[in-house]
Amino acid sequence: MHGLASRVANFRWGMLLLFVVGYALTKSYFEFAIVEYFTYNLLACLACGTLLYQLKDFDQRYTAVWFTLVVLLTIYPLRFYWITLDPLPVQMMLPHNPYSEMVDNRLQLLYAFKLSVVNFAVFCCSVAAMLCLFRHEDTLAPQRCFYNDTHVQEFVSKCLLVVLVPAILLLGYISHKYHIAEMGISPGDPLPFRLKGLIFYARTVFIPLLIILLICSAEWSGRNLMSRLGILILVGHGVLDMILRGSRSSLLLSLMLLIFLVMAGGIRLHRNEKILIGIAVAVAFFIVPFMTIYRNQRAYLDLLTLNALSQAVIIAGDNWWGLFTQGIKFVFFRMPGVETTWCMLSWTGAPSYFESGVKPLGAQSLEAFRSPNGIAGYVTHNIYPFKITDNTLLAPSYVGWFYLVAGLPAVAFGGLFAAMSSFLGWRLLNRNYLECAPIAQVFFLWMLFIALTEGTLDGMGRIMLSGLASLIIVEFGLRLTRIFFARREPMKATT
């Protein structure tokens, strides 16, 4: 870990080159406001430098801060410079007519950049201030009881290994039989007691977190073979979900959760294992456009699963490299960023459009929150020309969500919220409070990623409740197991 920290410490200043090179390449596009554009770039660069000065190395205590910094840099400054030079890659992610209007509206692009810079600068300066205030209190998190109790770890890993595979297959069969959350397929009749929703969140939240627990408990008990088997189960679950639901992101999500587990310190991978994970990520990028073909075959031709897969292979043909590059581009630009705000600001067909762009909702945002699809529904049906029957929802992005709620002040608050979540939230989870702390940290990074990319903060309630319920069950189970083994030891001693 020390070697990695030193390499990150030496490399981190290279992040500032993004603003220098980006500004040099794009300044000619904003000659109508050259001083204003220079000011925004300078502010973002100085704010990032301030944070990097305080964030001296990669420490597990600041994992979420590093993660948030990289995500914000990727989907805002980097994306902004890219689409300023060539906006074509984001065309497939935006409605056609709004995209056509936004491409020629550089004024609103500059305003979208201003909003993202305010959000980013507040985040960087807030985290830098908190690092100054709390650094002297930061110590390495003490080892939790569950870490050191080999008997508990071994028992938990064995139980999960026996239970998980049948549970995955059973829930997968039920999901397939009743078409639960299948992409492009009619959901059919609802099941009683909202069982479809329970099965969906059990498969997409509870089962992955249990697999993460299996990997951790096996790793801590020294059973490396079992922990690697847990990794295979996690990947297999992602593949199964991808085939059953026609989801393009299921496999990537499984791999992302594994990466989050490494970031949380729940498992250490050897060099060859990291290479294999990298190969799996590359395969997942290839599968993304392939799954688009597969999903279309199922939805429009009403083919069975195996028939749709075989047809997708035939259609894909020998264009493997093209599918791979298309998958990388899709994943990178699938995460909503600065272009989402630019498009909303530029679209004159929105009923709420006025001279300086789409008007923030203000007090009316409460009404949008109470609607079935929240702010995402407002963006899709009130700003963009989609009908409710189109079965489409467009995410507003993190900055776009706060702007729609209350304008520029809310965007600044969004930067503070990201700072407090990534610094204080992670710091709280890194303490000796939870037996299942690494699993909770994985879920925390997952939710943080969704919030920073999709920006559907008001629509995350169900998945967060599902995750919290899952963590409570896991925590309660671990505590009961530890108590059981603690009481068992004196009984053994007396006999």
**Pairing between β-strand 353-354 and β-strand 357-358 as defined by DSSP bridges:** antiparallel
Phi, psi of 225 (to 5 degrees): -65, -40
Residue type, 454: E
Where do we find the tokens 């459009």? 353
Distance CA 437, CA 285 (A): 30
CA angle 70, 4, 267 (to 5 degrees): 85
Q: CB within 8 A of 443, min separation 6: which ones?
A: 209, 467, 470, 471
Burial of 331 (0-12, 13-18, 19+ CB in 10 A): middle
Instruction: Answer whether 145's CB lies under 8 Å from 71's CB.
Output: no
Nearest to 401 by CA among 341, 343, 357, 359: 341
**pLDDT by 10s per residue, the chain, length 495:** 455 555 656 678 889 999 999 999 999 999 999 999 999 999 999 999 999 999 877 778 899 999 999 999 999 999 999 999 999 989 888 888 889 989 989 999 999 999 999 999 999 999 999 998 886 665 544 444 455 577 888 899 999 999 999 999 999 999 888 888 777 666 667 788 788 889 999 999 999 999 999 999 999 888 889 999 999 999 999 999 988 887 778 888 999 999 999 998 889 888 898 888 888 888 888 777 777 777 777 666 666 667 777 777 776 666 766 677 777 887 888 889 999 999 998 887 766 555 556 889 888 888 889 888 899 988 988 888 787 666 678 899 999 999 999 999 999 999 999 999 999 999 888 767 788 889 999 999 999 999 999 999 999 999 999 999 999 999 999 989 888 887 776 655 555
CB atoms near residue 59 (< 10 Å): 15
- What's the sign of the alpha-carbon dihedral 461, 462, 465, 471? negative
- What's the sign of the alpha-carbon dihedral 470, 473, 477, 483? positive
Nearest to 436 by CA among 461, 464, 469: 469
| pTM for the full predicted model | 0.90
Instruction: Answer whether 221's CB lies under 8 Å from 240's CB.
Output: no
Strand partners, 353: 358
